[in-house]
């Protein structure tokens, strides 16, 4: 039986995980794209990403593109599984009512 995930359920982290889960495992989203799509500030997004990274749900890659720092974020297999379980648990609540 699917169980709700308290870490993922936080509204901002839920949006972050939803955006990342929608792209394929071999793709990475830029920090700027996540910030714009999830409507978060730099600090806010950074804090949530650190929590998700500590849980093993995302990986963060910092690199340089044309001499400018760029951060890419990807969901891990564990993160994808945890997000899917959370989504299934949410749906189960709706279906059971």
Partner 1 sequence: MDISREEAQEALGAIDDATKTSRALLRSWIVGVFVVGVIWTVSFAASQFLPETPLWSMSESFLVGIAFAIYWGRRRLIAIRVAPQSRLALLHARLAVFYGVLYLFFMLWQIVLLRTAMESALLWITVIMFAGIITGVWLKEPVLIGCGIAVTVLSTLGYWLIPNYFWLWVAVFAGLPLIGVSLYLWKRR
Does residue 71 belong to the site contacting partner 1 (CB under 8 A)?
A: no
Q: Among 76, 75, 16, which residue's Cα sits nearest to residue 40?
A: 16
Who contacts 18 (Cβ-Cβ below 8 Å, separation ≥6)?
A: 83
Asked if 81 interacts with partner 1 (CB under 8 A), we say no
Quick check: 72 binds partner 1 (CB under 8 A)?
yes
Q: Is the dihedral of CA 80, 83, 85, 87 positive or negative?
A: negative
Which residues in this chain contact partner 1 in the complex, by CB under 8 A?
4, 6, 9, 11, 14-16, 18-19, 21-24, 26-30, 32-33, 37-38, 72, 74, 87, 90-91, 93-94, 97
């Amino acid at each position: 039986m699917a169980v709700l995930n308290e870490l993922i359920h936080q509204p901002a982290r839920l949006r972050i995980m939803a955006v990342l889960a929608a792209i394929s495992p071999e793709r990475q989203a830029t920090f700027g794209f996540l910030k714009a799509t999830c409507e978060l500030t730099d600090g806010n997004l950074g804090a949530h990403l650190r929590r998700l990274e500590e849980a093993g749900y995302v990986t963060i890659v910092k690199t340089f593109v044309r001499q400018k720092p760029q951060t890419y974020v990807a969901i891990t297999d564990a993160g994808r599984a945890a997000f899917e379980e959370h989504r299934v648990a949410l749906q189960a609540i709706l279906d059971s009512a």
